[in-house]
Amino acid sequence: MTLAASQFHSSGRIRVALLANCTVQLFPDLLEQELRTAGFDADIRVAGFDQVRQQLLDPGSELFANRPDAVLLYLDGEDLFRDCLVNPFALDDDAKHNLVTARSAELRQLVTGAGPHLPETAFLLNTIALPPLTALTGLEYNSGYSLHDLSYAYNRALAGLARETRSAIVVDAAAVMAWVGYRQWHDARLWYLARSRWSRAAMRALAGRYAAALAAWFGRTRKCIVLDLDHTLWGGIVGEDGIAGLQLGEEGVGRAFVEFQQELLNLTRKGILLAICSKNNPDDALAVIRSHPSMPLREKHFASIRINWEDKATNLRSIAEELNLGLDSLVFIDDNPAERALVSHALPTVLVPAWPGDPAEYKFALLGLAVQAFPKLRLTEEDRSRTAMYSAQAARRTLEAQTCSLEDYYRSLQMVARIGRADAFTVPRIAQLTQKTNQFNLTARRYTEAELAALAMSSDALVLWLELADRFGLNGIVGVLILRKEAATTWRIDTFLLSCRVIGRTLEQAFLAHAYALLRGLGARRLVAEYRPTARNAVAASLYANLGFSSVPQPVPAADATCWEIDLTRQTAPAPEWIEIVPVQ
């Protein structure tokens, strides 16, 4: 990935190419709006009608000339399998199987063939759904005839392609269609007048889903839901109704609150943090969380808790500080419109969604919110254990406060750092860190999985990860170091970052000491680096000076950037004695 491309992504400006086998001329405006809401400034180019093959197979096409960051490749199922819909009785099972195989194989060829020419590009593919009413209605599951087998087999092939090809992303358009409803999805009048299969409602819903997928691809997602308690996690006011009087259980409205909590619990399994911000008596509220028999969520599921009588904007600032998150990482859910208005006014970067008045709608409101605010394309081990990691971090802070000196604290942690090279298993987490880490990040370059996979295969680059464990448990992969060869004996630090959870534990010194040894083994004598200041990475400003690098002139003028170098033939810089380094081959 070039520096220019990195800056392009981090600024939110992206180039999008739209290819389709149906008319999509009315779609780009809505897509641009949804992308703007997601934080992107999009330049959208639309290919001519049904120019999919021409654009993807011709290396000299406009598509390749523009080098888009994302290709939206929309293939409508009713066009893909038009002959089957016209006469669903014409093909036997073998013929239908062969047809699906041919269609999915052609798509695979188009994507994998274009991939090497566009190594930094994401290809967004769509699932399909065929009409729910056809000539086979009644026969679909009661005879040897079936149309829905076609869409199922095709979608399954898409899933296989996405798992095998990092640049392929499947957007579940069939699920969006089911949610909107087929009759609302298709505008029959538009179809006959303009060959456009989508209604305006369909286009807006689909645009939102594409915007969410791109937000996930580029790492622009929120990280934490902050929740009120009374009338939000349960019905009633605990200070007035008592535990026994709350609506929370298996029947009626109480069931709605239980199901809402169950979906919140599912979000923690995807790596989303939960926090509490409630005006309440702490003893009363914690008693519900700890002992109410119908509470799916318990104290251990919350990374931060603020139960007091402070205003909620103040508490949200405190939560963000404790979790080391920006306010733009928070989503605030409260049933009270006055509290929502206060937070929106005081903290405009916090996402404060409108919230339904009926608890029966809470679960569905949350599911819709999660698609837009917390989109996920991959699930890493760190995602699955993130809440537990934050709980362990609180225990570390307690230990630090009880320890006489920093060195004693470091030794008491019993830190073990495993360091290895990027592979298929670690690339998703490395990409996640490059996209989300802002504080200890020397250059703030962002990378996608496809870009990192290509770098990891290069003989002129090293993509290293650091995983940390200590007496309180596994922190997961918390460090990334990307090194690029510039000359026969000179290498450059392209990216150096550490998760905010481990800042201040001397891991940067251990990581570089290991990298020095690797580089010497490759014949390196000189290592150069740069620090590019951002609004949030001041904590790393003095890193290279503190680690023995010498300041050198900036070869290409860049605002505020500083350049550094170190002589690897003289610098030994051993790892701190309190960190055990375990190389991973």
Measure the CA–CA gap between 190 and 186, rounded to whole angstroms: 8
pLDDT band of 368, cuts 50, 70, 90: very high
pLDDT band of 189, cuts 50, 70, 90: confident
| Complete DSSP assignment for 513-559 | HHHHHHHHHTT--EEEEEE---SS-GGGTTHHHHTT-EEE--SS--T
**What's the average model confidence in pLDDT over 399-419?**
85
pLDDT band of 353, cuts 50, 70, 90: very high
Most confident stretch, 65-74, 377-386, 408-417, 468-477: 65-74
482, β-bridge pairs: 463, 495
Measure the CA–CA gap between 480 and 430, rounded to whole angstroms: 7
Per-residue confidence (pLDDT) for residue 406, from 0 to 100: 85
pLDDT tens profile 96-120 = 889 999 999 999 999 999 988 998 8
Measure the CA–CA gap between 110 and 113, rounded to whole angstroms: 5
pLDDT tens profile 508-558 = 999 999 999 999 999 999 999 999 998 889 889 999 999 989 998 876 655
- 62, 55 Cβ separation under 8 angstroms: yes
What is the chain's alpha carbon radius of gyration, rounded to the nearest angstrom?
Answer: 27
3-state secondary structure (DSSP) of residue 487: coil
Q: Order the strands of the 273-279 sheet from edge to edge.
A: 304-308, 273-279, 224-227, 330-333
Per-residue confidence (pLDDT) for residue 4, from 0 to 100: 36
3-state secondary structure (DSSP) of residue 134: coil
Query: 580: part of which helix (H) or strand (E)?
Result: strand 579-583
Please count the other Cβ atoms lying within 10 Å of the Cβ belonging to residue 7: 14
Per-residue confidence (pLDDT) for residue 556, from 0 to 100: 61
Per-residue confidence (pLDDT) for residue 144, from 0 to 100: 79
Phi (first) and psi of residue 581, to 5 degrees: -100, 130
pLDDT band of 1, cuts 50, 70, 90: very low
**What's the average model confidence in pLDDT over 128-157?**
90
3-state secondary structure (DSSP) of residue 271: coil
- 425 has pLDDT over 70: yes
Q: How far is residue 29 from each of residues 25, 205, 213, measured CA to CA in Å?
A: 9, 13, 18
End-to-end CA distance of the chain: 26
* Residue 255: exposure state from Cβ atoms within 10 A (0-12, 13-18, ≥19): middle
**What's the average model confidence in pLDDT over 496-506?**
90
Which of 8-22, 74-88, 266-280, 421-435 has the weakest average pLDDT?
8-22
Distance from the Cα of residue 508 to its chain's centroid: 25
Q: Show the DSSP H helices in 279-323 as ranges.
A: 282-291, 312-323
3-state secondary structure (DSSP) of residue 70: strand
- 9 has pLDDT over 70: no
Per-residue confidence (pLDDT) for residue 572, from 0 to 100: 67
- Mean pLDDT, the chain, whole residue set: 90
Query: 279: part of which helix (H) or strand (E)?
Result: strand 273-279
pLDDT tens profile 217-276 = 988 899 999 999 999 999 999 998 999 999 999 889 999 999 999 999 999 999 999 999
Query: 16: part of which helix (H) or strand (E)?
Result: strand 13-20
Per-residue confidence (pLDDT) for residue 574, from 0 to 100: 80
Q: How far is residue 71 from each of residues 22, 38, 196, 444, 476, measured CA to CA in Å?
A: 16, 17, 20, 25, 33
Per-residue confidence (pLDDT) for residue 474, from 0 to 100: 87
Burial call 95-107: b when 16+ CB within 10 Å, e when fewer: ebeebbeebbeeb
pLDDT band of 5, cuts 50, 70, 90: very low
Which is more confidently placed, 236 or 3? 236
Say what angle helices 337-346 and 312-323 make with each other, to 10 degrees. 60
Per-residue confidence (pLDDT) for residue 408, from 0 to 100: 86
pLDDT band of 22, cuts 50, 70, 90: confident
Per-residue confidence (pLDDT) for residue 557, from 0 to 100: 56
Burial call 371-406: b when 16+ CB within 10 Å, e when fewer: bbbbbbbeebbbbebbbbbbbbbeebeeebeeeeee
- 404 has pLDDT over 80: no
Please count the other Cβ atoms lying within 10 Å of the Cβ belonging to residue 535: 8
Residue ranges and CATH numbers for the domains of the chain are 3-217 (3.40.50.1110), 224-373 (3.40.50.1000), 385-583 (3.40.630.30)
3-state secondary structure (DSSP) of residue 305: strand
pLDDT band of 384, cuts 50, 70, 90: confident
Per-residue confidence (pLDDT) for residue 559, from 0 to 100: 61
Burial call 311-350: b when 16+ CB within 10 Å, e when fewer: ebbebbeebbebbebbbebbbbbbbeeebbebbeeebeeb
- 340 has pLDDT over 90: yes
- 21 has pLDDT over 70: yes
pTM to 2 decimal places: 0.77
- 354, 347 Cβ separation under 8 angstroms: no
Q: Which two tokens stand for residue 53?
A: 């093959």
- 325 has pLDDT over 70: yes
| Residue bearing tokens 């570390």 | 396
